[in-house]
Structure 1
Amino acid sequence: MTPTDSPTSSARTTYGAVLGSPYVARLLGGTLVGRLPNGMAPVAIVLLVSTDGGTLAFGGLLSALYGLASALSQPVKGRLMDRHGQTRISGPAAILNSAALLTLPATGTTSSPALATVIVVLGGLAAPPLEAGLRALWPSVLPDPVRRHTALALDTGTQGLLYITGPLLVAALTTAHNPSLALVVTAVLGLAGTALVLTAPPSRTWKPVPGGLSRTSDRLFSGQLVALFVALVGVGVAIGGMNVWAVAMAERHDTDLLAGVLPAAFSTGSFLGGLLYGHRTWPGTPTRQLLTGTVGFALGWLPLLTLPTPAPATAAAIVPGAFLTLIVARAFTITDTLAPPTRTTEAYAWLILSIGVGQAAGTALAGRLADHPHTLAALPAAGATLALAVLLPARPGRTPAHCGRHRRHCAPVGTAG
């Protein structure tokens, strides 16, 4: 769905109707399960290093490398899916990713740091591009733009479940057993979810749009799309910084469960925000909604600067999370508008890359700042401020350079709503 195709305020649907549509529940559920390694592996890696006697800085570095490798490889895999379909790319990737996660505990992260680093990078590079693939499937699965709008909000909002269930599951498995078991469970869930998606008919039969007649018509990047992606790097920095801040809070208060509870609180806000956003249509253009969400996201991090105790910190983490779904959903909508139809999956992958690079940078920087509580607590707000500083002058989406896959006419995004 494109911005100009957004349903009017009188158009309504229900989550039940969307989930009851053929294959929607299976695709959404399979993607969530298949992407659980994204929410589990970074936390499990940090805890594994800590259990092996390593430092938080090294654990943060490995976690960041996993996220960075996963993010950097997304556009390549997205481009390959645009050419060869989803099954041939995501299937082998999921197998390699799970193999790396299963191998890591046996290497000894402190006794063989170089080998552990190689395995983590390979695992990240092989992370299957399920999110970009799902976004590419929605138009064929849900031709109705009203239901597609609700599905996009539900899709984006339920991603928060990855970072609720994932960190909590890792924390619980580590507390009851050890981080090694958490990585085994992560690998198994990743394989199972990917298989559920790839065996569904919409994924098996999906074919990309044929290439254009000229290179110009297939050109991906424009100034506005680049600005959008740079802003999303700032959003990722905030998320990455928050994850390490949670681990530091757990160590400071001698409560291991906080390492999972605080990211889960943030993701709970994202999930609730997604439900509210998808329940109805909202006034304003997609660009204006994106800016509004980014302002709320930035302001939501400010309470962390007071170094709150665990209970207030948990409550405070919900607030910025509530605005994340709006930011990501509108970013995907604007990306669809600005990208050529022959490279839609790749464009989605670049969007995911931008957030992933920011998250990896935020994780690595936060690891270095672990001994400076005030600076560490300020990092998420700094990342969100960077995003806002880029978006305000650029206002991406107002004058698209390309028509999106589902647009009937080229028109400025600013004309919608």
Structure 2
Amino acid sequence: MLSPSPVSSRTPSYAAVLRTPHAARTFGAALLGRLSYGMVSLSLMLAVNASTGSYSVAGAVMALYGATSVFLSPSRAALIDRHGPRRVLPPMAGIYAALLAALAYATWRPGASAFLLGALVCAAGAFTPPLGPVMRTLWSGLVADRELLRRAYSLDGVAEELLFVSGPLLVGVVVRFAPPAAGIAVSAALILVGTMALVSSPAVRGTDAAPSDGRAAGRDDAPAGQRLLSIVGLRHAVMVTAAVGLCLGGLDLLVVAFTEQHHRGTGAVSWVLAALSAGSAVGGIAYGAVSWRASNRVRLPLLAAGLGAAVVGAGLSPGVYVLAALAAVAGLFIAPALTTAYLIADESVGAGSRTRAGAWVNTAVNAGSSVGAAVVGLLVDRLPPAVCFAVAAVPALLCAAVVTRGAVSRS
């Protein structure tokens, strides 16, 4: 049964996380760099559209950027596991920032070449520094207690959620006073400054030669990613987060379709998605503050199932206000599910593979989100909204059932 265990007065708190030596400095630097990711997508889309005058080119450029950034994430993380963040992150961030600066220059005025922009975004996506996985690996080194580590991961997940809310707001401020390309330039500065501040932290010292772990080794002749995914716990975490991503990617598009069907403007979309993010933030904070008796591997499929059930319920909403309320309920499960998946990834491998393991979870949710949006986009004009919401929820519900059955059969 999933229930919180009694919390003693000595239960670690979020304040205790930030009081850990070097934690606040390291976390702050990582958040500064990760704010770049909250700004860059919208900045790129606006700048490319303004420069080329084509939504099709803007969409294609964003797809190329997302594909290279997401699918090469485990490879970049493998470099960090092998050589350490202090050796890999500075040149990676420097090249990435330089490519963003080139994109800002190319899109500052109308007439940019679509071919040139495509080449630049592919290169930029290939060098995107994996600051999220690196920070989660550093949390494992900073925090020894597992309860405190869960709170650290919850705090990290909620902060990341807020960055992706505040990032577009900052872009809105920038474009009031400058061309959209200025947002790309700001993103370049943020990633460079944040990364350099991160690698200068004392918490990063001694992480340059983390040995590979026997649990992640498997067969010596197998590819590294295959060896990692042969670990049952990590494989389940990746499966569930991919399903969560599929669900969320479809949900974003369905909110737009729902509000249009109910003759509401784009402002209603923003409110519903804000409710989803707010629910995720509240859920993440509450989840991290409670000590649970059930293990991470038991909780993860239950959280995914809760998300799926809430999305099914959202499809039955009679109006936008009810949809916003149910989106907030769905959000309650998002940050806890991702936090739990990252914890499983961390505990499934050793120190020499943690960045890669976290990157696989990160890749799964982002790739799932892209695929979910594409699939629902094909269905939204052909099926009733309630059916589309149910289809979007199926991956989370189905994967939760499969993972739960696998866990039961192994026990």
Partner of 2:228: 220
Q: What do the CA deviations read for 1:293-321 (whole angstroms, capped 9, x no partner)?
A: 11221233346546887665554432322
Partner of 1:282: 292
1:116 and 1:309 mapped to 2: Cα distance?
A: 41
Matching residue within 237, 242, 247 for 2:246: 237
Partner of 1:404: none
Where do residues 8-407 of structure 1 align in structure 2 (5 Å cutoff)?
9-10=7-8, 12-51=11-50, 52-55=52-55, 58-108=57-107, 112-174=113-175, 177-211=178-212, 215-216=217-218, 219-222=227-230, 224=232, 225-243=234-252, 262-302=272-312, 305=315, 313-365=323-375, 369=378, 372=381, 382-395=391-404, 398=407
1:67 and 1:152 mapped to 2: Cα distance?
A: 24
Following superposition, the deviation at residue 326 of structure 1 comes to 1.2
Contact 1:167 1:261 in 2 (8 A): no
Q: What do the CA deviations read for 1:189-237 (whole angstroms, capped 9, x no partner)?
A: 2222222211101113324542367953773222733343233222223
Contact 1:46 1:63 in 2 (8 A): yes
Contact 2:150 2:288 in 1 (8 A): yes
2:27 and 2:166 mapped to 1: Cα distance?
A: 15
Following superposition, the deviation at residue 384 of structure 1 comes to 4.0
CA spacing shift, 1:48–1:83, aligned 2, 3 Å: same
1:339 and 1:397 mapped to 2: Cα distance?
A: 20
CA spacing shift, 1:207–1:114, aligned 2, 3 Å: same
1:249 and 1:177 mapped to 2: Cα distance?
A: 33
Aligned to 1:352, the other structure's residue is in SS state helix
CA spacing shift, 1:13–1:338, aligned 2, 3 Å: closer
Aligned to 1:266, the other structure's residue is in SS state helix
Contact 1:163 1:264 in 2 (8 A): no
2:317 and 2:115 mapped to 1: Cα distance?
A: 35
Paired amino acid for 2:212: G
Paired amino acid for 1:127: T
Aligned to 1:25, the other structure's residue is in SS state helix
CA spacing shift, 1:117–1:300, aligned 2, 3 Å: farther
Following superposition, the deviation at residue 324 of structure 1 comes to 0.8
* Stretch of structure 1 that moved more, 134-143 or 212-221: 212-221
Paired amino acid for 2:276: F
2:129 and 2:277 mapped to 1: Cα distance?
A: 22
Following superposition, the deviation at residue 188 of structure 1 comes to 1.9
CA spacing shift, 1:303–1:353, aligned 2, 3 Å: same
Aligned to 2:11, the other structure's residue is in SS state coil
1:233 and 1:375 mapped to 2: Cα distance?
A: 25
CA spacing shift, 1:14–1:312, aligned 2, 3 Å: same
Following superposition, the deviation at residue 85 of structure 1 comes to 0.5
2:125 and 2:389 mapped to 1: Cα distance?
A: 23
Partner of 1:406: none
CA spacing shift, 1:92–1:380, aligned 2, 3 Å: farther
Contact 2:242 2:366 in 1 (8 A): yes
* Stretch of structure 1 that moved more, 247-256 or 80-89: 247-256
CA spacing shift, 1:256–1:283, aligned 2, 3 Å: same
Q: Which runs of 5+ in 1 are unaligned?
A: 1-5, 401-411
Paired amino acid for 2:295: T
Paired amino acid for 1:226: R
CA spacing shift, 1:40–1:380, aligned 2, 3 Å: farther
Paired amino acid for 2:289: H
CA spacing shift, 1:371–1:147, aligned 2, 3 Å: closer
Contact 1:86 1:133 in 2 (8 A): yes
* Stretch of structure 1 that moved more, 192-201 or 247-256: 247-256
Q: What do the CA deviations read for 1:368-387 (whole angstroms, capped 9, x no partner)?
A: 55983977897676444213
1:168 and 1:90 mapped to 2: Cα distance?
A: 27
CA spacing shift, 1:223–1:216, aligned 2, 3 Å: closer
1:381 and 1:30 mapped to 2: Cα distance?
A: 40
* Stretch of structure 1 that moved more, 308-317 or 345-354: 308-317
CA spacing shift, 1:69–1:309, aligned 2, 3 Å: farther
1:279 and 1:315 mapped to 2: Cα distance?
A: 23
Q: What do the CA deviations read for 1:277-297 (whole angstroms, capped 9, x no partner)?
A: 111212423223112211221
Contact 1:9 1:280 in 2 (8 A): yes
| Cα RMSD for the two superposed structures | 3.6
Following superposition, the deviation at residue 107 of structure 1 comes to 3.3
TM-score of the superposition, structure 2-length normalised? 0.81
Paired amino acid for 2:395: L
TM-score of the superposition, structure 1-length normalised? 0.80
Q: What do the CA deviations read for 1:105-136 (whole angstroms, capped 9, x no partner)?
A: 44359852222222222222211111111121
Following superposition, the deviation at residue 70 of structure 1 comes to 1.4
Following superposition, the deviation at residue 50 of structure 1 comes to 4.2
Identity of aligned residues (%): 29
Q: What do the CA deviations read for 1:15-49 (whole angstroms, capped 9, x no partner)?
A: 22221221212222222221123322223333334
Following superposition, the deviation at residue 139 of structure 1 comes to 2.6
Following superposition, the deviation at residue 255 of structure 1 comes to 6.0
* Stretch of structure 1 that moved more, 41-50 or 385-394: 41-50
